[in-house]
Amino acid sequence: MKCPYCGYPDSKVIDSRPTDDNTSIRRRRECLKCGKRFTTYEKVEQLPILVIKKDNRREVYDRDKILKGMIKACEKRPVPIKVLEEITDEIDKRIINSMEREITSTEIGEMVMEKLKNVDEVAYVRFASVYRQFKDINTFMDELKKLLKENETKK
């Protein structure tokens, strides 16, 4: 590691510890030439994941969009934000652990709906109506009928 003070290309590590959020390592270093100390941070390099939208545009994956969409669907519903954050974490881990560099917005939407269905059915229908772009009341009713049928089979 190059010294920020004198530019010498070598240093020794005096202390290493994880950061508070455990996403990187903090290293305290000392220059082998001038003896000055400095801190570096080491973290895993993550390649961006791209989301393929319905119109084939690509944009960088943003987990906050998942959370914002669920918050909107759960507006005025008795769903704690903590539950939505946990769902977002689960979906985020699933996407990152898939090791794929691209994912479709359809796949993400299906994951969200799968989770919301078990948390709040009204929020699920709200999310589905935007996500699936219900064109008329019949499409909306078809989704409700599917939901009712699933509930009957669970009993």
- Each residue's pLDDT tens digit in the chain (155 positions)? 899 999 999 999 999 999 887 888 999 999 999 999 999 999 877 779 999 998 999 999 999 999 999 999 999 999 999 999 999 999 999 998 888 899 999 999 999 999 998 999 889 888 888 877 766 677 777 777 887 787 777 76
Pairing of strands 24-31, 37-43: antiparallel
Instruction: Measure the CA–CA gap between 38 and 50, rounded to whole angstroms.
Output: 36
pLDDT for residue 143: 75
Q: Which residue shows structure tokens 């996403």?
A: 23
pLDDT digits (tens, 9 = 90+) for 90-99: 999 999 888 8
Tell me how long the chain is.
Answer: 155
Cβ neighbours, 10 Å, residue 124: 21
Q: Which residue shows structure tokens 């939505």?
A: 84
pLDDT digits (tens, 9 = 90+) for 23-47: 889 999 999 999 999 999 998 777 7
**pTM, entire model:** 0.64
* CA-wise closest residue to 147 among 130, 135, 136, 129: 129
Instruction: Measure the CA–CA gap between 49 and 47, rounded to whole angstroms.
Output: 6
Asked if 39 and 27 touch (Cβ cutoff 8 Å), the reply is yes
Give me the DSSP letters along 77-89: SS--HHHHHHHHH
Sign of CA dihedral 102, 106, 109, 114: negative
* CA-wise closest residue to 91 among 127, 60, 115: 115
